[in-house]
Amino acid sequence: MSGRYDDILKSLMGLGENSTHKNYYSDLQGKTAELERFKELLNHSSEEICLFKLNQWEIVDVNKTLSDRIGIAEEHLIGKGIGEIYDFGEDELENISSFDRVTIEKSVKVLGREIYLEISIKNVEFEDGLYGVLMARDITDRKEAEQQLLNSQENLKKLNSELIKAKEKAENADRAKSMFLANMSHEIRTPMHGIMGMVELMYTTNLSEEQKEYIDNLQSSSEILMGIISDILDISKIEAGKMEIVYHEFDIIKSIEKIIDNFAITAHKKGIELILYIDKNVPQTILSDEGKIRQILINLIGNAIKFTEKGNVVLRVNTVFTEEDRIIMQFEVEDSGIGMSSETMKQLFIPFMQGDISYKKRYQGTGLGLAISKKFTELLGGTIEVESAPGVGSKFTVEIGCKYVSGRESEKSEGEDLFIKSVIIAVDDNPVNRMIVGKMLSDRKIKHFLADKSVLKF
C-alpha cells in the first residue's frame, strides 16, 4: 500500500534527524519495520482493501489486489472517487455514511467479464477525520453456483409439474377404463353364463366317453375364464368406486362350512388336509356383507391350497372383541406351503402382482385375488395381515367388525349332554387335526384322549 502510510513513514523517519527526538529514533525504526510488514501482508491479501475519506469519498490508499483487478497503478488510484471504482449509487453512499458497518453485494465488469463482489465497509475515526475501510472479495463462483441451483430448482419444478400432469392424465385414463369395465360388468358376464349353462345342458344328452372328456375340459376352462373375468370386473368396480356393501343377516357358520365343502375335493386330490375350526364364541348369525366375506375367504383358501403341495390348510374362525351388539370376527387361513420372502410380501396386495414371480407358469392366476381381498376387507372396515417365511408356509389374518343378532347365537348341539357324560378317544395321524379336535372338545368340557393311529395296532 502507498499514499497515506508512506507519508506517515517518511514523517516518522524525518523525526529521527531532530536531536530533540533522538531518544525516540530507535523505537521509530521498529515501528517502521512493523508497518512495512503490515503493508506487505495487506498487499498479499486475496481481498481488495481500500481506505477512503468518508463523505468526501476520495481514495486515500489501496492494496495491490484492487490495483491488479482494475489495471491501474496504486499511486494513480489515490484521490479517485470510491463510487467510481465500485459504481456506488447515491442510495448506497447514503447507507455507507449513515451506518457504522455496511455489507453490499455488487456485480462489476472486469475485462468484459461480469464478476460479483461482496463488499464490507466499516467506518473508523482517525485524528484528522472520518474514514471508511473497505474490503471486497470475489464471490463469483458462489453466485454462479447459487444461480445454477436456482435453475436446477426451476427445472425440477417444471419437471415435477409435467409429471403431475402426466400422472393425472394416466389416472384419468385408468379411471375411465375401470368405469367402462364396471359399467359393462353385466354385458361381459352374461355371455359366459350362457356358455356355462349350455355346457350343463350338454351333460344331459347322450354323449360318448370322448365327448364327455371334451365337455369336462370345456367346463373346467369356462370356470377358470369366469373366475378371471370376475376378478377383473371386481377390481374395476372397486377402482371406479362402484363397489357397494350389501348388509343383511346370514348364518356365518353355514356359509363357512359351505366354502370348506367346495374346496374339499380339490384339497383331497392334492393330498392336503383341509381343516376347519370355529370357536364356541362365534355367533350363528351376524349382520354384514356375506358375499364379500365369502369372496375374501375363497381367495385366501384357494391361494393356500394352490401354493401347498403337502401338509395342511387350516381355517380358524374366532371372535376377538365383543361390545353390546358389535363384534369383531377373526379369520385365520394358515398353510404349510412354499411361503414367501419379506420382499414378496411387500408387493403381495398390489393388483396383477403374483407373489411367486419365478413360478408363474406353475401357479396360474391373475394376481388379483389378494388385492380384491384387501379392498373388500377395507370396504368392510377391517384389516388383513400376513406372516410368512420361505419353506414354512403362510398365515393370513383378517379381522372384520360386524353386528351380531342377539338371541340367535349357536345353540347346543343335539345329544351334546350325552357326550359330556362320556370319555371320547380321538384318533388321527394329523397333529393339527388332533389339536383342533381337542380344542373343540375342551371348549365343551368333554373328557377326551388324543392319539395317532399307532394305538390301533394291537
Q: How far is it, in rounded angstroms, from Cα 267 to Cα 302?
A: 9
Q: Which of 255, 275, 258, 259 is nearest to 438 (CA)?
A: 275
Same domain, 151 and 139: no
Same domain, 43 and 72: yes
pLDDT at 458: 45
Total domains in the chain come to 4
- Give the CATH number, domain containing residue 198: 1.10.287.130
Same domain, 398 and 259: yes
Name the domain boundary from 383, 408, 433: 408
pLDDT at 362: 57
Same domain, 368 and 425: no
Same domain, 102 and 182: no
Same domain, 261 and 395: yes
Same domain, 173 and 280: no
pLDDT at 4: 53
Cβ partners under 8 Å of residue 257, min gap 6: 276
C-alpha cell at 36: 512495512
The strand ranges marked E within 84-198 are 101-110, 113-126, 129-138
Same domain, 149 and 103: no
Same domain, 48 and 171: no
Q: How far is it, in rounded angstroms, from Cα 221 to Cα 229?
A: 12
Same domain, 62 and 192: no
pLDDT at 224: 75
Q: Which of 41, 59, 38, 36 is nearest to 131 (CA)?
A: 59
pLDDT at 365: 58
Whole-model pTM?
A: 0.53
- Give the CATH number, domain containing residue 100: 3.30.450.20
Cβ partners under 8 Å of residue 105, min gap 6: 116, 117, 118, 119, 139
pLDDT, mean of each 10-residue run, the chain (458 residues): 49 44 52 64 81 90 87 88 87 88 86 84 88 90 90 91 88 71 69 83 87 86 79 75 86 92 88 90 91 92 92 92 86 93 86 56 66 91 94 94 67 58 72 73 72 62
- Give the CATH number, domain containing residue 347: 3.30.565.10
Same domain, 82 and 17: yes
pLDDT at 378: 93
What is the domain range of residue 312?
248-408
Same domain, 338 and 210: no
pLDDT at 401: 93
Residue 100 has what DSSP assignment? S
pLDDT at 186: 65
pLDDT at 361: 47
pLDDT at 409: 46
pLDDT at 106: 86
